[in-house]
Amino acid sequence: MSNTSIKITSDKLSLDECYEFVTDDSCGGITAFVGTVRNSTQSKEVTQLDFSTYKPMAIKEMQKIADLCLEKFSIKKIAIHHVEGMLQIGDVPVIITVSAPHRKAAFEACEFAIDTLKESVPIWKKEHFSDGEIWVNAHP
């Protein structure tokens, strides 16, 4: 049975699903990171966000992160789920859950996974404002 759950979907993400996936009798704790769409960037009001992906490669890169977490930290299971498509303020673009026998490894792996996802997974967000739109991180 796989210890990793990787998903990119245009459906609403489920924290329950990510939580259920990582539960394990050998574990003493589960950590979760839930990303949410913020209502402003550099004091400009954001109206919505559009996530696009290079899906086959993004899945591979997310799988690499999950595999690396299992190798690097003493954890049992990890789920990394991300959405694509248009999201509104307060919606959830990403959920990561990690289970481990001891809590420290679960916290560390969860932080490592979201930090690495933001650096390497080919997913792009376009922020929509009331007066225009911008690809995040794209310009100097």
Binding residues (CB under 8 A) for other proteins: these are 35, 51-54, 56-58, 60, 82, 93-94, 114, 117-126, 135-140
Give min distance, CB of 71 to other proteins, in A.
Answer: 19
Give min distance, CB of 54 to other proteins, in A.
Answer: 5
Phi, psi at residue 127, to the nearest 5°?
-90, 130
Which of 32, 101 has the CB closer to other proteins? 32
Candidates 14, 15, 10; CA nearest to 51 is: 10
Q: What is the largest CA-CA distance in the chain?
A: 52
Q: What is the DSSP string of 41-55?
A: ETTEEEEEEEEEE-H
Which of 1, 138 has the CB closer to other proteins? 138
Give min distance, CB of 64 to other proteins, in A.
Answer: 10
Give min distance, CB of 126 to other proteins, in A.
Answer: 8
**6 sits in which H/E element:** strand 4-9
Tokens of 112: 């490592």
Which of 102, 136 has the CB closer to other proteins? 136
**129 sits in which H/E element:** strand 123-129
Which of 70, 134 has the CB closer to other proteins? 134
